[in-house]
Structure 1
Amino acid sequence: MNKFKLGLIINPYAGIGGSVGLKGSDGDEIRAEAFARGAEPRAIARMQRCLTLLQPSTSDIHIYCFAGDMGEDAAKQLNFEHTLVGHPVAAPSNAQDTCMAVAALLKESVDIILFAGGDGTARNIADALKKENADHQIVLGVPCGVKMHSGVYAITPEAAGEIMLSLLKNQLVNVQSCDVRDIDEVAFREGKVKTRIYASMYAPVLPQFLQQVKNSGAAQDEMVKLDIANYLIDNLFDEVLYIVGPGSTTKMFLDQLGVDGTLLGVDVVLNRKLVAADVSAQQLYQIINNHSGDIKLIITAIGGQGHIIGRGNQQITPEVLRRIDRSDIYIIATKEKILSLQQRPLLVDSNDPELDKSFSGYQTVLVGYDEFIMYPIGVSDSASVHS
């Protein structure tokens, strides 16, 4: 499997006003006053506390970052393999540089954006993701700010490191939509706490599902499939072509939608109606060629090794897969099915090795109603099967 692509952003001045009683660090004037009072930056050191926990896994990680104190310095000092994706324009760096860094990291298709900052930094990143139409990008914050009200932050730098370790070990880590809050710093300096929900971002959260699954029987498994189906139905878009792969989890979606789909075939849905059932590869390719709108794919793991492509759904050919953006692929599975993989990655075997490699990395998996985890996808070869 490819290396974990870690996008790194550090707001080097986050929290600089806290130790000198300024109750915030937003704005050039506040930062200047903080330095005048003898404040010292702490964000790089706090990010290093997080990254230190990942040092045993350095061979599995490639960091993408901006130059200097926005990421490069921390990666260098801890000997992480890294690639520079840009340089801050301002000196010192500012919110615009943060947004530029986000855009550059998205071009690298990073698996997660790990950032050090405060609520203002989280707000900047949320703005950048919205601008780039990348609302589902996974992020995780290392807390460095004076005021910390946003749910995207771990409770400590070490806690952020533990979450990252869990992802690297292929453990089941919940991915949730977390509030990004911002505080009125002027009111805060006057002793008043005024916060508001500014946006939301997706972040990995512990405890792991492994600790939450207890005595799951067949009935509970069916309820989970129903939750997954209902979430998909509640989020269907008009004029979008949905290709639905085989499996009992996808069949539950078709049943709840009220269409006569197949358990073992590939079906096609448009505007909540069945366009074609049990299609061949040729039929499927003709259908997508005749469709001018967006295309989404709904698939689940088939077989004991966790294949999502290449086992029971060979109708979904490389030619079809190339027509679908990776962000438009819904991988759905119950927690029990994921747990049964025993931390092995999901597998792709499309009969096109180069295409298979492009899937390698981390992907969100829908495991309940609006309930996601991050899980790795590997290539179906001897190395990944026995890992």
Structure 2
Amino acid sequence: MARLDASDGTGTNMSHRIGIIVNPDAGLGGRLALKGSDGQAELARSKGADDRSGPRMTESLEHLNSIISITLGPWTEVEWCLMDGRMGASWIPKPLREIGLWNIIAETPQNTTAHDTTAAVHTMIEHHVDMILYAVGDGTTRDIVNALMEIDASETPILGVPAGVKMHSGCFGASPRASAEALAAWITGDLLLARTEVMDLDEDLYRGGEWVVRMYGEANTPGSPRWMQGSKQRVERVSETEILEGLGDHIQETIEENPDMLVIWGSGGTLRTLGDGIGYSISVLGIDATRGTKQIGTDLDETGLIETINSHKILFGEESEILLLLSPMGGQGFLIGRGNLQLSPDVLRSIGIDAILGVVTPAKLATLNSLRIDTGDAELDAEFRERKYLKALQGY
């Protein structure tokens, strides 16, 4: 990669100039049930958390490279601006480095903070980037948007590779590959920009069990219902009391008919309401486990889930029944990959795809075009796609 002096002229006639930012700490707390990574990176790494944002950027750019190989476009004229090290260059696939011009504009410090993100954004704007591609979560998205506003560059488009624990903003692709598709379509002129909401959940309140999502601004991003996830909607209908009671009755009868069945409860208000009605104490933001009338796990992380599942199989046999209840995110449709990273590929494979049951009210269903899956494992995502359909319960 060539180094570009920050004082050098930046008026070269490139068709597109794309900035790349990776927050190396984004998403670390997901599988550990830390409810976010803001201020939790050191704790997460001490518990053995693996990088998430960097590998997700690599996955996205590998897919972009495959798109480039079969698509006509101004690829050799694209200029990429990025930081050296873990905030950028460390995650660039080698084949892609041979296409276009790659410019290192700064070094990644040993310990990164929001200030480093802001500085990177400001430097990229000095180099007249046309879009910023970034792998982070909602918190760093806010940092990027604020940094753009500080220098009167809020019209600069942004495109997120989903890498955080919870992503409510509409500027993220539905998956790393979807982000690559959106970027490629925008570069080739097949996608226009749209205005979307930048939202975030208060992580301090979130860790205490309170869900407060706020809108912090707007941003330009590629407009594509197919590739972009859209912003999170909280769907509430006072008229759905009877429907929720019916859903609860159905699940309770299923449990009573199968008292040895292990039930894994996903996160969200719908499932908490149903669980409370049955007599459990379901956490709205965590992953819980019940068997029969007993709650055997609360707010489990990835390790806790695997241990619970393995213990169940030892007690009742490898073919013992397991049911994973999941409620899709309103407006986005994600069953897996947003706010429930504890359900890792290893956990999901241990449970089995056939054991998943979506639980969705008609009001929430009306906001969805499809159910979305982003497990973080390309092979497992492909297995879900091959199924085409998942079981979903929307009434008694």
Q: Under a length normalisation based on structure 2, what TM-score does the superposition of the two structures give?
A: 0.49
Deviations 1:218-238 (A, max 9, x none): xxxxxxxxxxxxxxxxxxxxx
1:66 aligns with 2:66: no
- 1:88 maps to 108
Cα shift at 1:78: 4.3
- 2:46 maps to 36
Q: Flag structure 1 segments of 5+ consecutive residues without an equivalent.
A: 209-387
- 2:71 maps to none
Deviations 1:131-188 (A, max 9, x none): 11101001101110001111111111111111011123221x2312211112111221
Mapped to 1, the partners of 2:114 and 2:53 lie a distance apart of 15
Mapped to 2, the partners of 1:144 and 1:34 lie a distance apart of 15
Mapped to 1, the partners of 2:217 and 2:187 lie a distance apart of 28
Mapped to 1, the partners of 2:77 and 2:187 lie a distance apart of 8
- 2:188 maps to 169
- 2:35 maps to 23
Mapped to 1, the partners of 2:96 and 2:161 lie a distance apart of 20
Mapped to 1, the partners of 2:215 and 2:96 lie a distance apart of 38
- Secondary structure at the residue paired with 1:5? strand
Deviations 1:332-371 (A, max 9, x none): xxxxxxxxxxxxxxxxxxxxxxxxxxxxxxxxxxxxxxxx
Mapped to 2, the partners of 1:78 and 1:116 lie a distance apart of 20
Question: Any conservation in 2 of the 1:65–1:83 contact (CA below 8 Å)?
Answer: yes
Higher strand proportion (structure 1 or 2): 1
- 2:26 maps to 14
Deviations 1:266-294 (A, max 9, x none): xxxxxxxxxxxxxxxxxxxxxxxxxxxxx
Mapped to 2, the partners of 1:13 and 1:31 lie a distance apart of 6
Cα shift at 1:76: 5.7
Cα shift at 1:52: 1.3
- Secondary structure at the residue paired with 2:192? strand
How many residues were matched structurally?
A: 204
- 2:224 maps to 206
- Secondary structure at the residue paired with 1:46? helix
Question: Any conservation in 2 of the 1:139–1:152 contact (CA below 8 Å)?
Answer: yes
Instruction: Give 2:127's match in structure 1, choosing from 108, 114, 130.
Output: 108
Cα shift at 1:32: 1.2
- 1:153 maps to 172
- Secondary structure at the residue paired with 2:199? strand
1:4 aligns with 2:16: yes
- 1:186 maps to 204
Question: Any conservation in 2 of the 1:20–1:38 contact (CA below 8 Å)?
Answer: no
Q: Flag structure 2 segments of 5+ consecutive residues without an equivalent.
A: 1-12, 69-74, 227-396
Q: CA RMSD in A?
A: 1.7
Instruction: Give 1:55's match in structure 2, choosing from 47, 65, 84.
Output: 65
Question: Any conservation in 2 of the 1:11–1:70 contact (CA below 8 Å)?
Answer: yes
Q: Please list every run of at least 4 consecutive aligned residues from structure 1 whose deviation after the TM superposition is greater than 4 angstroms.
A: none
Deviations 1:36-86 (A, max 9, x none): 111011111101111112215352422100110111112364442410111
Q: Which letter maps to 1:146?
A: V
Structure 1 pair 114/128, CA: closer, same or farther in 2 (3 Å)? same
- 1:132 maps to 151
1:333-372 equivalent positions in 2, closer than 5 A: none
Structure 1 pair 79/175, CA: closer, same or farther in 2 (3 Å)? closer
- 1:294 maps to none
1:245-256 equivalent positions in 2, closer than 5 A: none
Mapped to 1, the partners of 2:83 and 2:94 lie a distance apart of 15
1:197 aligns with 2:215: yes
Question: Any conservation in 1 of the 2:60–2:177 contact (CA below 8 Å)?
Answer: yes
Q: Under a length normalisation based on structure 1, what TM-score does the superposition of the two structures give?
A: 0.50
